[in-house]
Structure 1
Amino acid sequence: MVHKNDIKILTEILDLDDIKVISHRLHEGIGIILQTESKKLDATCPKCGTKSHNLHQNHRHIVKDLPFGEKPVFLEINRRQFKCRKCQKPFSEYLDFVRKKRTYTKRLAHKTIQEVLENDIHSVASKGIVTTEEIERMLKDASEDLPNLKPLNLKRLGLDEIALIKGKGNYCAVLVDLDTSKLIAILSGRTQEIIKKTLMEWGTKLLEQIKEVSIDLWRGYKNLVLELMPNAQVVADRFHVMTQINKELDTQRKREKRNIEDLIKKEKLAAKKDEYEDILLALKNSKYPLLKNEDNLNEEQANKLIQVKNVSPVLKVMHELKEKIRKIFNKTNDWYAGVFKLGMWLSRAKKYFPNSNNTIIRWYDEIIAYFDNGTNSGMVEGINNKLKLIKRSGYGFRNFENFRIRCLLNWHFIY
């Protein structure tokens, strides 16, 4: 026998507007089933807005709800069908707690998405509450409910890319609002055609209000900005400049290490061989002491750096030049001083960093633009790192669209 107090308590616990529990039962191995019905006696026609009391037929079905403790909960609901007196056509009543043609409540979907964003699809599905297919459907529904991602107040844009599959040359473009630190879009490729299509959808008015665009050292991005954003200043990302300088420094380190190893193999005199082995010992494990910011070195790394500088005059000068340009980027706050300091650096670095020197000259205007507002893609790199984490747990996603949705929800899903 069902007690009225039990029903009242269950209705309060269920906490769904205008819905009451009329019975309950527990099925071992399945969970709790609550039979519910609407407190309303009428429904509103979605076509003409007329309220109708004329019940046409009942449609009962089962939907999943939030579990109660460790017990799964299922609601037996009745999505009634009424007949509109004005339209003379039947219609199904609107239930705001469950989407049409869905087998779970909205709040269960919301909770599930929260868990997926913190973990991955398979680990959430393994709990047995919802299936992988249901989770993917929840993500798709949530993406349709996202606010308009057209960045209406966008002033500073970051353009970059990540590899979908490492080592396969399969990249996707990443567009970030540098002022809000939010992902705007992640595209299936990084070609100019794909990016241009998305930018054109934003509209000319929005593109004209963009003042700065931070990019890596790829001319394709620069050409897009020049073509579509007439008022935007292209800013070459300082971190990509430093990456190239570090790469050239590391190449020299490897070259010197190989040369010493070759000399050791050829040298027959013990005295000379011992000298070369001392140099090789100083060069070993010197990558990070040379490339890491000098201010951040620990004691062991600082000592290793001193050893390297003592055995290699070239690496000593290159490291000092690397640190010099890093300080130029960190401490220069206007373009005029930036032009002077960078020009001085180039005149000295030409001999030691020929490739980086040529790159900086080709991108001189865009690099100098950094000194105005300090705009860079550091924030974009942070977002890229999070995207890579999502990608690594993305074995639960079957295609790029699911991956794209998951990425956007991480920044735009309302918890």
Structure 2
Amino acid sequence: MRTKKEIKFLTKLLNIEGIKVISHRQHEGIGIILQVEGIGKESNCPRCGKKSHRLHQNHRTSVKDLPWGENFVFLEINRRQFKCEKCVKPFSEELEFVRKRRTYTKRLGRAIIQEVLENDIHSVAKKGVVTTEEIERMLKDASKEYLKAKPSEVKRLGIDEIAVIKGKGNYCAVLIDLEKSKLIGIMDRRKQEEIREVLLGWGKEILEQIEEVSIDLWKGYRNLVRDLMPNAQVVADRFHVMAQINKELDAQRKREKRQVEDLIKKAESSEEKADQEKILEGLKKSKYVLLKNESDINEEQKAKLLQVKDVSSTLKSMQELKEKIRRIFEQSNNWLVGLLKLGRWLLEAKKYFPDSQNTIIGWLDEIIAYFDYKTTSGVVEGINNKLKLIKRSAYGFRNFENFRVRCLLTWQFDC
């Protein structure tokens, strides 16, 4: 028999408002079982709202709670049933700390979700506190509670994608609040129709308040913004422009390397072969020094870059043009200055970067907007990197919806 002092101590230790501990027992291999009930002597009828103190019957149920140290804790609750004097019908009292038809307390659910967001479902389930199915149920409950709200204060939006399975061409579209560095939407495919549906769900008022949208060089995103966000300036991500230029530069490097290798095979004299092998030596292992920002390479890499330039005048010109446009993006502080510098660059680069030139001309308005807004993909890339980590640890999620919920809760769950 427990003393009043012990019961009072256990009630305080349990720390659930309106609940007192009646008894306590411990079972080896199971854990601590606390028999609890409500302190109040009455409850409100859910139909008419009238308070009733007329006890109809007792109904006992067990739920899991936060562990105490290494011991699992189970609450054996007396969920009393009252009879409403007005409706003349019985009703069960509401338990604020347990959701209806759930076998665990709300606070245990919050703690488990926090663990899952930091790890993965299987590793959390292995601890034995809750099952995989219960964890998925917790995530669904949390999604209903936290993910219903519309992103009411978005003014700067980022739209990008992440590969679902690397190399397979499957992409998830992601929506990001650039000011708050926060993920606010994720769809299982990068399709205009699906993204449009999500954006329209935000409502006209929210879409009209968006001032800027940062995107990569995909026309589908641009068309969506133009259709749905009349007050938004589309800003092309400068890093995707640089990626296009680097792609063309690297294609030329590969092309020249293949040509030299073919010439070596066809060389008719040792002298001719030696000349081509010298060129090949300069081109070997040159990708990094050609594509990396020149200001970020070390002395050894600078020497390699000089070697590449010495054997290929075309790669020399292309690398210098690549560096020139990078400085234009970094140093131009308004759209007019940026436009003038970009125009001169396009004239110089026409011979070497025909594909990039066409891309820049086709996206000129969105690219020069960067010089005013200075929005980069830094925030987007940071979120994408975190999404990739979640994806790698998400083998415990059975479908995309569970993955989506976990991703959104990572930024929106408030424990």
Q: TM-score, normalised by structure 1?
A: 0.97
How much does 1:188 deviate? 2.5
Q: Are residue 198 (structure 1) and residue 198 (structure 2) matched?
A: yes
Question: How big is each residue's C-alpha offset from its partner over 1:72-103, in whole Å with a ceiling of 9 and x where there is no partner?
Answer: 11111122111111122222111111111111
Letter in 2 for 1:29: G
How much does 1:278 deviate? 2.6
How much does 1:163 deviate? 2.1
Question: How big is each residue's C-alpha offset from its partner over 1:304-360, in whole Å with a ceiling of 9 and x where there is no partner?
Answer: 222211211111111111111111111111000011000011000111111001110
Q: Are residue 386 (structure 1) and residue 386 (structure 2) matched?
A: yes
Letter in 2 for 1:261: E
Q: Do 1:239 and 1:378's aligned partners in 2 also have CA atoms closer than 8 Å?
A: no
How much does 1:147 deviate? 5.8
Correspondence for 2:26:
26
Q: Are residue 64 (structure 1) and residue 40 (structure 2) matched?
A: no
Q: Are residue 270 (structure 1) and residue 270 (structure 2) matched?
A: yes
SS at match of 1:123: helix
SS at match of 2:226: helix
Q: Do 1:178 and 1:379's aligned partners in 2 also have CA atoms closer than 8 Å?
A: yes
Identity over aligned pairs, percent:
69
Instruction: Give distance in 1, aligned partners of 2:117 and 2:160.
Output: 23
SS at match of 1:145: helix
Instruction: Give distance in 1, aligned partners of 2:221 and 2:404.
Output: 21
Instruction: Give distance in 1, aligned partners of 2:118 and 2:269.
Output: 62
Q: Are residue 52 (structure 1) and residue 52 (structure 2) matched?
A: yes
Letter in 1 for 2:17: D
Correspondence for 1:221:
221
How much does 1:271 deviate? 2.8
Q: Which runs of 5+ in 2 are unaligned?
A: none
Aligned ranges for residues 67-216 of structure 1 at < 5 Å?
A: 67-146=67-146, 148-216=148-216
Residues 113-122 or 170-179, more deviating: 170-179
Residues 398-407 or 376-385, more deviating: 376-385
Instruction: Give distance in 2, aligned partners of 1:96 and 1:87.
Output: 23
How much does 1:217 deviate? 1.0
SS at match of 2:146: coil
Correspondence for 2:283:
283
Q: Are residue 249 (structure 1) and residue 249 (structure 2) matched?
A: yes
Residues 150-159 or 347-356, more deviating: 150-159
How much does 1:376 deviate? 3.2
Letter in 1 for 2:342: L
SS at match of 1:167: coil
Question: How big is each residue's C-alpha offset from its partner over 1:250-269, in whole Å with a ceiling of 9 and x where there is no partner?
Answer: 11111111112112222242
Q: Do 1:161 and 1:174's aligned partners in 2 also have CA atoms closer than 8 Å?
A: yes
Correspondence for 2:43:
43
Instruction: Give distance in 2, aligned partners of 1:4 and 1:10.
Output: 10
Instruction: Give distance in 2, aligned partners of 1:309 and 1:12.
Output: 76
Q: Aligned Cα RMSD in Å?
A: 1.4
Aligned ranges for residues 319-330 of structure 1 at < 5 Å?
A: 319-330=319-330
Correspondence for 2:346:
346
Q: Do 2:264 and 2:273's aligned partners in 1 also have CA atoms closer than 8 Å?
A: yes
Residues 94-103 or 6-15, more deviating: 6-15
Instruction: Give distance in 2, aligned partners of 1:287 and 1:160.
Output: 26
Correspondence for 1:400:
400
Q: Do 1:360 and 1:367's aligned partners in 2 also have CA atoms closer than 8 Å?
A: yes
Q: Are residue 369 (structure 1) and residue 369 (structure 2) matched?
A: yes
Correspondence for 1:12:
12
Quickly say closer, same or farther: Cα 1:236–1:142, change in 2 above 3 A: same
How much does 1:26 deviate? 1.4
Question: How big is each residue's C-alpha offset from its partner over 1:220-263, in whole Å with a ceiling of 9 and x where there is no partner?
Answer: 11111111111111111111111111111111111111112112
Q: Do 2:65 and 2:73's aligned partners in 1 also have CA atoms closer than 8 Å?
A: yes
Q: Do 1:149 and 1:184's aligned partners in 2 also have CA atoms closer than 8 Å?
A: no
SS at match of 1:63: strand
Q: Are residue 293 (structure 1) and residue 307 (structure 2) matched?
A: no
Instruction: Give distance in 1, aligned partners of 2:291 and 2:298.
Output: 13
Letter in 1 for 2:23: S
Quickly say closer, same or farther: Cα 1:121–1:147, change in 2 above 3 A: closer
Correspondence for 1:258:
258
Q: Work out the number of aligned pairs and report it.
A: 415
Instruction: Give distance in 2, aligned partners of 1:149 and 1:317.
Output: 52
Quickly say closer, same or farther: Cα 1:30–1:77, change in 2 above 3 A: same
Q: Do 1:176 and 1:184's aligned partners in 2 also have CA atoms closer than 8 Å?
A: yes
Q: Are residue 2 (structure 1) and residue 18 (structure 2) matched?
A: no
Letter in 1 for 2:204: T
Letter in 2 for 1:254: K
Q: TM-score, normalised by structure 2?
A: 0.97
Q: Do 1:333 and 1:373's aligned partners in 2 also have CA atoms closer than 8 Å?
A: no
Quickly say closer, same or farther: Cα 1:205–1:57, change in 2 above 3 A: same
Quickly say closer, same or farther: Cα 1:352–1:68, change in 2 above 3 A: same
Letter in 2 for 1:295: S
Letter in 2 for 1:127: K
How much does 1:148 deviate? 4.7
Instruction: Give distance in 2, aligned partners of 1:5 and 1:385.
Output: 53
Question: How big is each residue's C-alpha offset from its partner over 1:115-152, in whole Å with a ceiling of 9 and x where there is no partner?
Answer: 11111111111111111111111111111111654122
Correspondence for 2:318:
318
Q: Do 1:238 and 1:367's aligned partners in 2 also have CA atoms closer than 8 Å?
A: yes
Letter in 2 for 1:94: E
Q: Do 1:21 and 1:35's aligned partners in 2 also have CA atoms closer than 8 Å?
A: yes
Q: Do 2:147 and 2:408's aligned partners in 1 also have CA atoms closer than 8 Å?
A: no
SS at match of 1:369: helix
